[in-house]
Amino acid sequence: MKRQVVVVGAGPGGCTAAFYLAKAGIDVLLIDKETWPRDKICGDSYLPALYPFFEDMGIMNEMKAAAACNPKALRIIDPDEEYADFDVEPWLIAPRRIGDDIIRRGALTSGADFMENFQAEELIIRRGVVRGIKGIYNNREIEVEADAVVIADGSHSALARQLGIYKEDPEYILYAGRAYYDGVEGMEEGKFEEFYTPSTLPKPTYSPICLTWVAPLYQGKYASVGITIAEKYLRETGMTLEGLFQWWCENTKFGRERMHNARPVEKLKGWRLPGSRKIEKNYAPGAVVIGDAVSSAEAAFEYGIPSSMIGGRVAASFLPEVLSSGDFSEKKFSEFQTLVGKELNPGLEYNANFRDNILANKKTMKQFQLWAKTQPGYPHLIYDQSVVKFITEVLHKEIVLSDKKITQ
Amino acid sequence: MGGIKMGSVKILSGEGKGFTVEKTAVAHINPRNCVNCGTCRELCPMEAISESQRVICRICPECTEQDAMTFDEMYEFTTKAACTTGCPLGISPQGYINLTRAGKLEEAYKLVWDKNPLPSVCARICHHPCEQVCKRGVLVDEPIAIRSIKRYLGEKTTFRAEKYPRLYEERIAVIGAGPAGLTAGHYLSRAGYEVTVFESATEAGGMLKRGIPEFRLDRSVVDEEVTNLENAGLAIRLNERINKHSLEKIQKEYDAVIVAAGAPNSKELKIEGWRLSGVMTAMDFMEQVNHRQEIRRHPGQIFNLGGEVVVIGGGSVAIDTARAALRMGATKVTAVCLECDEEIPCHPWELKEAEDEGITLIQSHSPTRFVGTYPKLEGVEVCKVTSFSKDGKGKISCELDENDTMTIKADWAIVAIGQAPDTMWSSLKGDRVYFAGDISKSACSVIDAMASGRKVALNVDADLRGRTLKDPMDTHELHSAPLSEKIYPYNRRKSIRPEIPMLAAESRIHSFDEVEGGFDDEAAQMEVLRCLRCGYQVVDEERCIGCGICQRECPEGDVITMEPVAKGGEK
């Protein structure tokens, strides 16, 4: 089989690339290893930055209708289990099994071909240029030749690994778990809660990311409850992901309050969330890599979908030009890193700054909390604006808020 | 890479003296293409090659069917075991499975045959310790059906062994053409010796033919493998029973004697009534079954098909016996064993197959007497075992509740409580006499017997050549691969292990046809794709002298490259 472009992975990133490529008249084959619709372990958030994509695909109304919650407020609980509330621009929470499938169907309206249950295992590389993929389909090893490949095979990417641009940074790679519950108590409608690493952990470790979250779904009838922790800190606890989650449920003030009558609707499932501070090498001659496959998000307190979809859109505008110019050089493809970097680096920088200056330290975390409560307008301060104000006015450091809104 | 210091490797001889070799190249193994067959590691004269195992991620709950782990458990697990260390003969299943995947069936079969002269036999009756440690089985879902792939290879290839080389003038005698003897003969023949195997029976195979029933192992499979060995140059002399006199002669004529005469004599259970007609030992019974002889209570009286049979014992032999009795026409077969649950010595799948056929196993019961009106057996009285233990040496002690007894109706009782070697060997001594197989340790499986044959062969070779034993299996250690090689099970296709074809229980009990079938092309192709490819070989560039043996002997293309080292500087 020979196609102009093969897009590997039909998550939001791959779908966006396939959608815009097909729209530009390119012959596209989108493949995915899963049987759709498929689930994904996630906070299930579709941020406002995605709405323009949904409009283009004609799925905005469907996404809104599928939403199980429209959070407009955020509660941050610090290691001493004290909290502050903030307002945020409302976003959509919808189970990924539903939301991602709407995106996939929306993407295919532009004419891209789609094959599921197709596991891409290896890139075909000739004379240093990616020329297609090898994979398993219907229990057979098959090859698809292509002029270019968009690698969007996600967090566990086998293809990015083959190219040597896959990251395994224990400080930035998170392991996450998510379960759906009913009977979670004490939630407020439209309020997303983030619990930071409690000081009472048996083997004390402090991870500069929220340890657990609770989000009310369907008017609080159900809840999405999850855990996130970087590899490095999880290892320090000596616990399994599930063990740590159970510990939180049973041994923290809020954990007990929320969970003592909760019943799981679905078991805790785990996932690996990659993250980085800036866009690094995301290409090889003949291939571009987007989304989690190249750790394009700051997974700690940002959602991966905007970074993936923005990456997909950049790929779709970059590749037609490459195909018509016939320039498959390293230099040409390196432009892709610059293009994606221009879009995503400001957001990543903001996040890194936030992490380093506030979240990395229990003390500043506490300080931020106390400070917020003294501000006029509390508890209706806008979260990201408050972060900027605190860092510049209290800590006297610089921070720039990205207009890309890839974060909360 | 880079930064490889060129130049010279110092090679030390035994006395600490040495010489240096100018190094012009170092070998590099591409982890992506390496099938981990281990050929290079075993051949490397510098022991510069070792095996790395990729970490298999098991952090996330519900990612696979098995429980998640902590990071420490996960890393510890990585180097604990692998299919390549699971086989007592040191065969690499990952190697032949991935050669099969690449369509190199002949190479795959040869990889097995080099170490295991009875691949198709093992493909049917080996208890596959390799599958027990297969990481896909332990960490993901079910182990790769390694044994069935081996069977597939045997059925798909027309392997013709090359003639063994003849390098040395020493001659070696092996007594017994069972799995241990044939394996010892194979390894020594491959090493370059002239080997003669003496077998007392009319055909080679030992317990494979006398003990194992045909419904588990078709006789033509054994014959084919024996023919292969003979074609390669192993001399097998049948109908030669060795007695004290002929043994002395052999010891004079041969430079080494390996006794692999097995443990052919069933132990008797001398409790009250053991002389009743209808009580027999498993070996007597199986031998008659396997030779299609009429089964007689005593001379002149033919086994009355349709009786009830009690088998005493819970090991593999007991289960084979019970299943054979069913096929001989027994109306009801009950096995009785001292042990319970996990302690039952037969493999769980053997028990399941027997139970599917309608055999009942009564656990935790000890036979106390055979009941009957002389001379006819009428039943077996058994007593409840209240505690059972086995010490390190295999000595059993158990306590019985004498008030809790029952009598099981029996026309026949077959005693399968273990076997012993012929007593004549116990007095045998002398230089260059070695023991292999069942005779050297009790109750060993086919693969263990073969492994013991292999080990003895290596010892014989070392002794005859006056060198220290160097067994690649002793130096086979697993190292942990870097994180960049980590395997995420999520990334590997979820696919179901194809079912191994089996004859239906209702029909198979009426014949001695092989119960287990083999994979067809489609099932085999599906199955090899499930291999996670956990391991690969790595060259220690400091130790490598660039001789290129590894590259020449690698059965896969595009794996090993010899990278030049510039004089006095960098690679």
Mean pLDDT of A32-48: 92
| A391 lies in some domain | no
CA atoms within 13 A on the CB side of A156: 22
Q: Judge whether residue B61 has pLDDT over 60.
A: yes
| A191 lies in some domain | yes
Q: Which of A136, A235, A242 sits opposite B529 (nearest CB)?
A: A136
Residue B67: strand, helix, or coil = coil
Q: How confident is the model at residue B193 (pLDDT cuts 50, 70, 90)?
A: very high
Domain carrying residue A7: 2-69+93-167+276-352
Evaluate whether B436 touches B393 at the Cβ level (below 8 Å). Answer: no
Q: Are residues A116 and A22 in the same domain?
A: yes
Evaluate whether B121 touches B491 at the Cβ level (below 8 Å). Answer: no
Spell out the domain ranges in chain B: 7-159+477-564, 171-264+427-465, 266-420
> What angle in degrees, to the nearest 10, is found between the helix axes of B105-115 and B93-101?
160
- Which residue's entry shows tokens 């001399």? B235
Evaluate whether A314 touches A335 at the Cβ level (below 8 Å). Answer: no
Contact state of A241 with B61 under an 8 Å Cβ cutoff: yes
User: B171-264+427-465 has which CATH code?
Assistant: 3.50.50.60
What is residue B65's DSSP assignment? S
Strand order from edge to edge, sheet including A210-217: A83-87, A73-77, A191-196, A210-217, A222-230, A174-182, A263-273
Structure tokens at A151: 């690698």
Evaluate whether B121 touches B225 at the Cβ level (below 8 Å). Answer: yes
A300: Cβ–Cβ under 8 A, 6 or more apart, which residues?
A172, A174, A208, A209, A210, A228, A230, A275, A351, A355, A359
Burial of B298 (0-12, 13-18, 19+ CB in 10 A): exposed
Other CB atoms within 10 A of residue B88 CB = 21
Q: Are residues A9 and A152 in the same domain?
A: yes
Determine the Cα–Cα distance for residues B461 and B36; give it in Å rounded to an integer: 27
Apex CA A191: angle with CA A189 and CA A193, to 5°?
135
Looking at residue A302, its pLDDT comes to 64
Residues of chain A contacting residue B526, judged by C-beta atoms under 8 Å apart: 139
CATH at residue A27 = 3.50.50.60
Q: Are residues A313 and A345 in the same domain?
A: yes
What is the phi-psi region of residue B337: left when phi exceeds 0, alpha when psi lies from -120 to 50, beta otherwise? beta
Contact state of B62 with A140 under an 8 Å Cβ cutoff: no
Contact state of A272 with B60 under an 8 Å Cβ cutoff: yes
Contact state of A168 with B491 under an 8 Å Cβ cutoff: no
Q: Judge whether residue B552 has pLDDT over 60.
A: yes
Determine the Cα–Cα distance for residues B311 and B283; give it in Å rounded to an integer: 12
Looking at residue A275, its pLDDT comes to 87
- Determine which of A157-166, B344-353, B489-498 has the lowest per-residue pLDDT on average: B489-498
Total residue length of chain B: 571
Other CB atoms within 10 A of residue B262 CB = 26
Q: Higher confidence at residue B510 or residue A339?
A: A339
Looking at residue B503, its pLDDT comes to 95
Closest chain B residue to A242 measured between Cα atoms?
B61
Residue B31 C-alpha, separation from nearest chain A C-alpha, in angstroms:
11
The whole-chain average pLDDT of chain A stands at 93
Q: Are residues A156 and A17 in the same domain?
A: yes
Determine the Cα–Cα distance for residues B141 and B134; give it in Å rounded to an integer: 10
Residues of chain A contacting residue B62, judged by C-beta atoms under 8 Å apart: 267-270
Looking at residue B569, its pLDDT comes to 47
CA atoms within 13 A on the CB side of B99: 25
Helices marked H in B434-571: 446-465, 505-508, 521-528, 549-553
Structure tokens at A407: 């974060």
- Which residue's entry shows tokens 């992490």? A355
Q: Judge whether residue B296 has pLDDT over 60.
A: no
What is the phi-psi region of residue B209: left when phi exceeds 0, alpha when psi lies from -120 to 50, beta otherwise? alpha
Looking at residue B106, its pLDDT comes to 95
Looking at residue A408, its pLDDT comes to 57
Q: Of the candidates B259, B256, B242, which has an alpha carbon nearest to the alpha carbon of residue B169?
A: B256
- Which residue's entry shows tokens 């094959």? A115
Q: Write out pLDDT tens, residues B265-291.
A: 889 999 999 999 889 999 988 888 887
Looking at residue A181, its pLDDT comes to 96
Looking at residue B571, its pLDDT comes to 44
Q: Judge whether residue A243 has pLDDT over 80.
A: yes
Q: What CATH superfamily is the domain B266-420?
A: FAD/NAD(P)-binding domain (3.50.50.60)
- Tally of domains in chain A: 2
Q: What backbone torsions phi and psi does residue B377 show, to the nearest 5 degrees?
A: -75, 140
Looking at residue B136, its pLDDT comes to 95
What ipTM does this complex have? 0.91
Q: How confident is the model at residue A318 (pLDDT cuts 50, 70, 90)?
A: very high
Looking at residue B469, its pLDDT comes to 84
Q: Which residue type is seen at B456?
A: V
- Of all residues in chain A, the percent with pLDDT exceeding 90 is 83
Contact state of A158 with B491 under an 8 Å Cβ cutoff: yes
pTM, rounded to two decimals: 0.91
| A359 lies in some domain | no
Looking at residue B243, its pLDDT comes to 87
Structure tokens at A132: 């297609």
Looking at residue B299, its pLDDT comes to 47
Q: Are residues A190 and A153 in the same domain?
A: no
Q: Are residues A192 and A240 in the same domain?
A: yes
Q: Which of B70, B491, B525 sits opposite A239 (nearest CB)?
A: B70
Contact state of B60 with A235 under an 8 Å Cβ cutoff: no
Q: How confident is the model at residue A405 (pLDDT cuts 50, 70, 90)?
A: low
Q: Are residues A21 and A155 in the same domain?
A: yes
| A148 lies in some domain | yes
Helix (H) or strand (E) holding B371: strand B365-373
Residues of chain A contacting residue B61, judged by C-beta atoms under 8 Å apart: 177, 240-242, 267-270
Q: Are residues A161 and A310 in the same domain?
A: yes
Other CB atoms within 10 A of residue B375 CB = 12
Q: Write out pLDDT tens, residues B393-421.
A: 778 888 999 999 999 999 999 999 988 88
Q: Write out pLDDT tens, residues A187-235.
A: 999 999 999 999 899 888 888 887 899 999 999 999 999 999 999 999 9
Q: Write out pLDDT tens, residues B7-19.
A: 666 666 666 667 7
Helix (H) or strand (E) holding B352: helix B348-356
B158: Cβ–Cβ under 8 A, 6 or more apart, which residues?
none
Q: Are residues A50 and A107 in the same domain?
A: yes
Beta-strand pair B194-198/B171-175: parallel
Determine the Cα–Cα distance for residues B289 and A262; give it in Å rounded to an integer: 63
Q: Judge whether residue B204 has pLDDT over 80.
A: yes
Contact state of B59 with A241 under an 8 Å Cβ cutoff: yes
Other CB atoms within 10 A of residue A400 CB = 11
Q: Are residues A111 and A61 in the same domain?
A: yes
Q: State the best of B485, B491, B529 to mutate against chain A, taking most chain A CBs within 10 Å.
A: B491
Omega of the bond leading into A379 within 30 degrees of 0 (cis): yes
Mean pLDDT of B238-259: 93
Q: How confident is the model at residue B467 (pLDDT cuts 50, 70, 90)?
A: confident
What is the phi-psi region of residue A104: left when phi exceeds 0, alpha when psi lies from -120 to 50, beta otherwise? alpha
Structure tokens at A121: 């295992």
- Where does a domain end: A352, A375, A402? A352
Q: Judge whether residue B319 has pLDDT over 80.
A: yes
Cα dihedral B163, B166, B172, B175 in deg (nearest 10) = 0
Contact state of B60 with A271 under an 8 Å Cβ cutoff: yes
| A343 lies in some domain | yes
Cα dihedral B94, B97, B102, B105 in deg (nearest 10) = 130
Inter-chain Cβ pairs, chain A and chain B, closer than 8 A: 69
Determine the Cα–Cα distance for residues B49 and B539; give it in Å rounded to an integer: 5
Residue B77 C-alpha, separation from nearest chain A C-alpha, in angstroms:
15
Looking at residue B96, its pLDDT comes to 97
Residues of B with CB under 8 A from a CB of A: 32, 57, 59-63, 68-72, 483-484, 486, 488, 490-491, 493, 495, 522, 525-526, 529
What is residue B162's DSSP assignment? P
Looking at residue A253, its pLDDT comes to 95
| A74 lies in some domain | no
Structure tokens at B209: 């033919």
- Where does a domain end: A307, A331, A352? A352
Structure tokens at A171: 């400080």
> What angle in degrees, to the nearest 10, is found between the helix axes of B179-191 and B446-465?
30
Residues of chain B contacting residue A175, judged by C-beta atoms under 8 Å apart: 59-60
Q: Are residues A267 and A295 in the same domain?
A: no
DSSP for B380-400? EEEEEEEEEEE-TT--EEEEE
Determine the Cα–Cα distance for residues B328 and B312; give it in Å rounded to an integer: 17
Q: Which of B57, B69, B529 sits opposite A240 (nearest CB)?
A: B69
Q: Which of B32, B483, B488 sits opposite A156 (nearest CB)?
A: B488
**Sign (positive/negative) of CA torsion B53, B54, B55, B61?**
negative
Determine the Cα–Cα distance for residues B366 and B312; give it in Å rounded to an integer: 9
Mean pLDDT of A307-317: 97
Mean pLDDT of B128-155: 96
Residue B67 C-alpha, separation from nearest chain A C-alpha, in angstroms:
10
Q: Which residue type is seen at A251?
A: N
Beta-strand pair A2-8/B18-23: unpaired
Determine the Cα–Cα distance for residues B107 and A98; give it in Å rounded to an integer: 48
Find the largest Cα–Cα distance for chain B. Answer: 93
Evaluate whether B91 touches A296 at the Cβ level (below 8 Å). Answer: no
The whole-chain average pLDDT of chain B stands at 90
Q: Which residue type is seen at B25?
A: A
Contact state of A238 with B70 under an 8 Å Cβ cutoff: yes
| A374 lies in some domain | no
A7: Cβ–Cβ under 8 A, 6 or more apart, which residues?
A14, A17, A18, A21, A28, A29, A30, A31, A112, A149, A150, A152
E strand intervals along A245-395: 263-273, 283-284, 287-289
List the beta bridge partners of residue B415. B281, B312
List the beta bridge partners of residue B52. B479, B536
| A135 lies in some domain | yes
Q: Higher confidence at residue A188 or residue B390?
A: A188
Residue A277 C-alpha, separation from nearest chain B C-alpha, in angstroms:
20
Looking at residue A43, its pLDDT comes to 87
Evaluate whether A43 touches A297 at the Cβ level (below 8 Å). Answer: no
Q: Write out pLDDT tens, residues B79-131.
A: 999 999 999 999 999 999 999 999 999 999 999 999 999 999 999 999 999 99
Q: Write out pLDDT tens, residues B169-190.
A: 999 999 999 999 999 999 999 9
